Structure 1
Amino acid sequence: MSIRVIASPVRASLARPCLGLRAIRASIPTHGALAAPVAVRHLGIPPLIAQPPGGIVGTVNDAVKIPPPDKLHGSYHWTFERLIAIGIIPLTVAPFISDAALAPAVDSVLVTTTLVHCYFGLQSNIIDYIPKREFGKVHDACMWLLLGGTIVTGYGFYKYETNDIGLSGTIAKVWKA
Structure 2
Amino acid sequence: MSMTMLRTTARPALVRPFAARAFYAGRPLAAANSAAAQHVEGTVNDPTTFPAPNKAHGQYHWTFERLLSAALVPLVGATAVSSANPLLDGVLCTAIVAHSHMGFDNILTDYLHPRKFPVLGRIMMWGLRLMTAGVLVGIYQFETNDIGLTELLKKMWRAHETKKPLTE
Mapped partners of 2:39, 2:125: distance in 1: 29
SS at match of 1:133: coil
Q: 1:84 aligns with which of 68, 73, 78?
A: 68
2:61 matches 1:72: no
**Partner residue in 1 for 2:82:** 98
One-letter code aligned to 2:64: F
CA RMSD of the aligned region, Å? 3.0
Deviations 1:20-72 (A, max 9, x none): xxxxxx8xxx55655xxxxxxxxxxxxxxx6x58xxx878x967664333243
* Structure with bigger gyration radius: 2
List alignment gaps of at least 5 residues for structure 2: 1-21, 33-37, 161-168
One-letter code aligned to 1:109: V
Q: TM-score by structure 2 length? A: 0.65
| Residues 86-165 of structure 1 mapped to structure 2, 5 A cutoff | 86-98=70-82, 103-165=85-147
Number of matched pairs: 131
List alignment gaps of at least 5 residues for structure 1: 1-25, 35-49
One-letter code aligned to 1:70: N
| Residues 6-85 of structure 1 mapped to structure 2, 5 A cutoff | 31=26, 52=31, 66-85=50-69
Report % sequence identity.
Answer: 37
**Partner residue in 2 for 1:41:** none
Q: TM-score by structure 1 length? A: 0.62
Mapped partners of 2:26, 2:78: distance in 1: 57
Deviations 1:62-112 (A, max 9, x none): 676643332430111011001110111111122232265xx1101000001
Once the two structures are TM-superposed, the CA of residue 170 in structure 1 deviates from its matched residue by: 1.2
